Amino acid sequence: MNILVTGGAGFIGSAVCRHLVRDTEHSVVNLDKLTYAANLTSLNAIENSPRYRFVQGDILDRALVADLLREHEIDAIMHLAAESHVDRSIDGPGDFIQTNIVGTYELLEAARAYWSGLTGAKKEGFRFHHISTDEVYGDLPLDDSLFTEETPYAPSSPYSASKASSDHLAMAWHHTYHMPVVLSNCSNNYGPYHFPEKLIPLVILNGLEGKRLPVYGKGENVRDWLYVDDHARALALVATKGEPGRSYNIGGRNERSNLAVVETICDTLDRLSPLENGRSRRELIDFVSDRPGHDLRYAIDATRIETELGWRAEETFETGLEKTIAWYLENPEWWRPIREKRYSGERLGAAKAPAA
C-alpha cells in the first residue's frame, strides 16, 4: 500500500514510519509541519529508502494534501498530526483547536474528494485511520474499571476535548459520507525519540544530570503505559485490516502511578549510570502543585484489537523502560541539542511537572 502519514516526524509518527519502511512492504509519504516537537533526525534510519518520502507541509493546506494523494496514489491515510501536550493546551488552547479540529476537518475533506474519485478495488480498499487518545474518555476511579470502545466521551482538558472533537468528525464522515474511516485510541506512549517535555524522557534526562524530578501532587495519578513500537505495530494493523466504522482501543496493560514510574526510572538510572556522589535519585523527587483538571486514572481494555486483529503488546513496562533508558544513555546526540537549544530540564520543571 501507499500510505500517507501525517505528523510522521513526531514521536509516535516517526515510530510508525520506521515500522512501515523497515518491517513491511508499504511505501510511506510523511507529511509534517515540523513544529517544535518534530525531529527529522528520528527518521535518519529510513530517510534514504526508496519507499519513503518526506514532505514539509500543513494538514490545513487542503490543496497540498490533495496533490499528495493523487501524485502518490495513496491507499491509506494514517492521521497522527496533532498538538498533544496537556499543559500547553491549558496555557494556550487556540493551536489545539486549529490543528486538531480544523486540521482534521481539512484532511477529511481532502480525503473525501480523493476517495470519491476512486473506483473498483482502489476505492474499496482505501482507509482513513484517525489516531487518537484515551484521554477523550475522561478518567477512571482507582479500581479495576477499564475504558472500552463503548465508554462515553468525557474529555477534561482543552487537548482531550480537541481530540474528542476530531474523533467525532472522523466517524461522522464515515456515517454521513460512507468514507471508510477507522479510529484508534491509545494509552500513554513511551520509548526512544520521545520529546523531553513528557514525563518519562524528562525524568530520565533530569535524573542523568542530577536535577530535580518534579511530580504533580502526590504522584498518585495512574496511567496505562504502552511502548511506542508496540503501538506502531498496532496502528499498522488497524490501518490495513481494521473494519471501517470501527474503533480500537490500544493499551499496554501496564498501569503505574506517576510516582511509581519516577521511582522505577530513578532505580534503573542508579543501576545503569550512578551519580558521582552516590546519592539515590529518589532524593531528587520534588512534589509540585497539581495541574488544573488532572485526570486521576486511565486504563485501556485492549480486548477488541487483541481478539479481532491478533495484536499483543510485546513489552512489559519493565522491559520497555529498560530499553528506553538505555536508548537515552546511548543517544545523547539526539536529545542534547533539544535540551540545550530549546527546552532545558530546569525550564520545563521550574513551575510544572511534565505531563502524564
Q: How many whole angstroms from its chain centre is CA 258?
A: 18
Instruction: Please pick, among 32, 58, 75, 134, the residue that the annotation labels catalytic.
Output: 134
Phi and psi at residue 290, to the nearest 5°: -65, 155
Instruction: Please pick, among 137, 159, 216, 328, the residue that the annotation labels catalytic.
Output: 159
CB 76 within 8 A of CB 141: no
**Which residues lie below 8 Å from residue 226, measured CB to CB, with a gap of 6+?**
186, 187, 188, 189, 190, 250, 251, 252, 254, 300, 313
Q: What torsion do the CA atoms of 273, 220, 224, 148 make, to the nearest 10 degrees?
A: 180
**Which residues lie below 8 Å from residue 307, measured CB to CB, with a gap of 6+?**
none
How far apart CA 323 and CA 145 sit, in angstroms, is 29
Residue 135 annotated to the active site? yes
> Euclidean distance between the first and final Cα of the chain, in Å?
34
Instruction: Please pick, among 58, 135, 295, 301, the residue that the annotation labels catalytic.
Output: 135
* DSSP single-letter state for residue 123: H
Residue 134 annotated to the active site? yes
Residues known to be catalytic: 134-135, 159
